[in-house]
């Protein structure tokens, strides 16, 4: 005879931990990919459009900081 699932709290805690860990790892990887994507877009714009120069608004931000 097997025990009902609701009487196995360790199983549920383990599954919850696995799911929570996976969610955290996924969010971290997604953030890394997005950051790299936006950096690459900015790099292409700087190379192709700005001819390796900074945009005027970028210079103003640096001065302000």
Three-state SS for 11? helix
Residue from 47, 48, 46, 49 nearest 58 by CA: 46
User: What CA–CA distances, in Å, run from 43 to 4, 37, 48, 49?
Assistant: 57, 10, 8, 10
The residue among 35 and 9 whose pLDDT is bigger is 35
Residue pair 11/5 in contact (Cβ under 8 Å)? The answer is yes
Tokens of 15: 């599954």
Average confidence score pLDDT of the chain: 84
Residue pair 46/52 in contact (Cβ under 8 Å)? The answer is yes
**Whether the predicted pLDDT of 2 surpasses 80:** no
> What is the average pLDDT across 16-37?
96
Confidence of residue 50 (pLDDT cuts 50, 70, 90): confident
């Amino acid at each position: 005879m097997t025990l009902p699932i609701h009487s196995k709290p360790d199983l549920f805690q383990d599954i919850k931990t696995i799911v929570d860990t996976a969610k955290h790892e996924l969010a971290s990887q997604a953030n890394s990919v997005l950051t790299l994507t936006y950096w690459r877009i900015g790099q292409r714009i700087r190379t192709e459009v700005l001819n390796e120069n900074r945009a005027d608004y970028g210079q103003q931000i640096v001065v302000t900081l």
